[in-house]
Structure 1
């Protein structure tokens, strides 16, 4: 699913647009036991409560594609005959009225999830009459013939607040506000089936994780029997280690700067150009940057071999997972200097009288602890 399709579904999570009439789920304690089950109608809730429920579900479609949102693709044999696909289809086709299927999903999820503390598993069903859009992007509501129905699952930690002192306006007095349990934003979840090319794709699902460090691969394996790509944070760490370990003495500030510039340019170009697919970078593109920096063939060959071993042959990665587009950091054991990538040319490394230095070109406006200083 591309960003526009995800955004189109996200816009539905408002009381006046959503087709979600009820939310069902269960409350799981820290011992992985189902304490209670619930099936609530949004129509019987107050507007404020229904808006908050929809806002929680909406968060399962938030984040960056390739980082927080991952496209999962079922194999043909799974769609034709597999327990995991049958379960998802039973949930969707029954509009979450198949209690046996719901119980099976709960048990699979609880058995695979490694979450500390209590949490909620929320399930919602929605039907969307997809409006037709012409090639120029114009919406034509009376020309739509696609009905997209899907289920959304959100796993939300339930956290205990701290006691506090609160001021009650009506009483004009202070009172203790006792600790209470609140529902936190989703930690993991999924949408099925996928909404590709603005139509139903039974071969796909959209998988969500709040953190770029943890992708809950056991949860995905239990429900989909599909492998997940390496978490975004792990991709970044692995990529950095590959550059350092394979380039060795050729891994200079200029090489890292060039790599940062090229990846940031891909990210920025994707934002500015009307591209719907996520930005991706291939091993060949990374190798070209190294070649432009004058890296030796021996070091490049070592990098390419380790790249394929770590990420897979022909793997394409999201640039947002490999660099921080907002800042660069130059660190020593005692000092760290942070700056925006566009100012990387103001920094250089140099050896003076046998001593290694990090040099920062200083123009006007140099301050130390907020105090302007003179040279």
Structure 2
């Protein structure tokens, strides 16, 4: 991967009114029947203030997310089709969105490949970033290293506003508000050329997918001409299915094995996070087989996991953090800790019950005083029969006969 977190942040930081240099803004509104309702072209700097910030927010969202998770670096397919798509995107970028035919081609391709049942907006931006050079201290210098010209495309669902009450000024009353169509934040989008190592990479596309949404492989392949990739959410689900399917209908064992494998993956990822010099862990089929062995998975099931994993992921094994289900590990660890505590409490309760059952209960008749402090004396039953109360010098006493050389201790202190 050539795009770095710093590259993404550098572009994203510029998306504010004081630094944004977007030139032309184009787009079209598509209805649920896949028909273009309207098209528009604007100079970004001439937009009304409210519109300016809304369109800026849409563009900024296309640069958000986590690299390798929902922000993917795509490479062009080296087939004739992939090369043709790359040439088209370069031509579109070089036209600065002034060629209507090139824009229409993009709209048509998006409409053909984007699977969405409702209305949506396609927005395309053009920008030229005068990339400043970096001083040895890391601060920006005035001198430019290159001009980075690029296009941003965002596809945004448009939904009907929810019913609500509002103040109707012309009628001076509270009534139902008129519902209108509202443009949401992007479902997907892309930046071409990619900004990698603070420069233009015409051989790559930075592709954005809303977190939790599918990657739309048909869009990647047929609109961009790139090799499809999974998002982290798709990697995670595919990995889980591989493990569970190998166990067949034994869901309990599948859940237990999957949890143990996730715990090991969590430790591997944590180690890399502590030491940034270590490269990310790539989960090959062989590595997953090792995880299964460590989780004490039966050999035949482990072999099936390795085989299925190889078929699903092929020569593009995911990184460990992409298949890690942190919530599952956390919840499972808490449950295991709670269960261990409950087991300890149960054992203690059994011990207390056992001690109570074996203890000699003090009979009310054996209590030497009717009220006040109770002195509890324990001894074998054959000796207890000789214990009695007696008044000595006007004081009621408990008398325990001693024979031979016997002695007595109270609270560990010998009685003379």
TM bracket (short chain): 0.7 to 0.9
Q: Spell out, residue by residue over 1:203-255, the C-alpha distance to the aligned partner (whole angstroms, 9 max, x if none).
A: 10011221534222222222223331245444333322322333567946653
Structure 2 equivalent of residue 284 of structure 1: 286
Q: CA 1:222–1:141 in 2, change beyond 3 Å: closer, same or farther? A: same
Paired residue secondary structure (1:61): coil
- Counterpart of 1:263 (choices 262, 265, 269) is 265
Structure 1 equivalent of residue 309 of structure 2: 307
Q: Spell out, residue by residue over 1:56-85, the C-alpha distance to the aligned partner (whole angstroms, 9 max, x if none).
A: 111112223223122111245669x93211
Contact 1:261 1:341 in 2 (8 A): no
Contact 1:2 1:277 in 2 (8 A): no
Structure 2 equivalent of residue 195 of structure 1: 195
Structure 2 equivalent of residue 16 of structure 1: 18
Greater radius of gyration (CA): 2
1:172 Cα deviation from its structure 2 partner: 8.8
Paired residue secondary structure (1:151): strand
Structure 2 equivalent of residue 149 of structure 1: 149
1:257 Cα deviation from its structure 2 partner: 3.2
Structure ranking higher on relative contact order (CA contacts 8 Å, 6+ apart): 1
Where structure 1 has 5 or more consecutive residues not aligned to the other structure, the ranges are 329-338, 348-358, 365-375
Q: CA 1:168–1:102 in 2, change beyond 3 Å: closer, same or farther? A: same
1:139 Cα deviation from its structure 2 partner: 1.8
Contact 1:27 1:121 in 2 (8 A): yes
Where structure 2 has 5 or more consecutive residues not aligned to the other structure, the ranges are 345-416
Contact 1:67 1:318 in 2 (8 A): no
Structure 2 equivalent of residue 228 of structure 1: 228
- Counterpart of 1:4 (choices 3, 6, 13) is 6
Paired residue secondary structure (1:153): strand
Contact 1:112 1:222 in 2 (8 A): yes
1:270 Cα deviation from its structure 2 partner: 5.2
1:92 Cα deviation from its structure 2 partner: 0.7
Structure 2 equivalent of residue 127 of structure 1: 128
TM-score by length of 2: 0.72
- Residue 361, structure 1, aligned to residue 341, structure 2: yes
Q: CA 1:24–1:100 in 2, change beyond 3 Å: closer, same or farther? A: same
Paired residue secondary structure (1:239): helix
What is the CA–CA distance in structure 1 between the aligned matches of 2:263 and 2:112, rounded to whole Å? Answer: 44
Paired residue secondary structure (2:142): helix
Bigger mean CA deviation after superposition, 256-265 or 198-207: 256-265
Contact 2:130 2:147 in 1 (8 A): yes
What is the CA–CA distance in structure 2 between the aligned matches of 1:119 and 1:284, rounded to whole Å? Answer: 44
Structure 2 equivalent of residue 371 of structure 1: none
List aligned pairs for 1:174-189, cutoff 5 A. Answer: 174-189=174-189
Structure 2 equivalent of residue 343 of structure 1: 334
What is the CA–CA distance in structure 1 between the aligned matches of 2:276 and 2:337, rounded to whole Å? Answer: 32
TM-score by length of 1: 0.79
What is the CA–CA distance in structure 1 between the aligned matches of 2:241 and 2:340, rounded to whole Å? Answer: 26
What is the CA–CA distance in structure 1 between the aligned matches of 2:32 and 2:272, rounded to whole Å? Answer: 42
Q: How many residues align?
A: 340
Structure 1 equivalent of residue 88 of structure 2: 87
Question: Which one has the bigger strand percentage?
Answer: 1
Structure 1 equivalent of residue 242 of structure 2: 242
Structure 2 equivalent of residue 336 of structure 1: none
- Counterpart of 2:56 (choices 54, 57, 60) is 54
What is the CA–CA distance in structure 1 between the aligned matches of 2:46 and 2:281, rounded to whole Å? Answer: 43
Contact 2:75 2:205 in 1 (8 A): yes
Contact 1:257 1:344 in 2 (8 A): no
Q: Spell out, residue by residue over 1:22-78, the C-alpha distance to the aligned partner (whole angstroms, 9 max, x if none).
A: 311111111111111111223222333212111111111222322312211124566
| Alignment RMSD | 3.2
Structure 1 equivalent of residue 35 of structure 2: 33
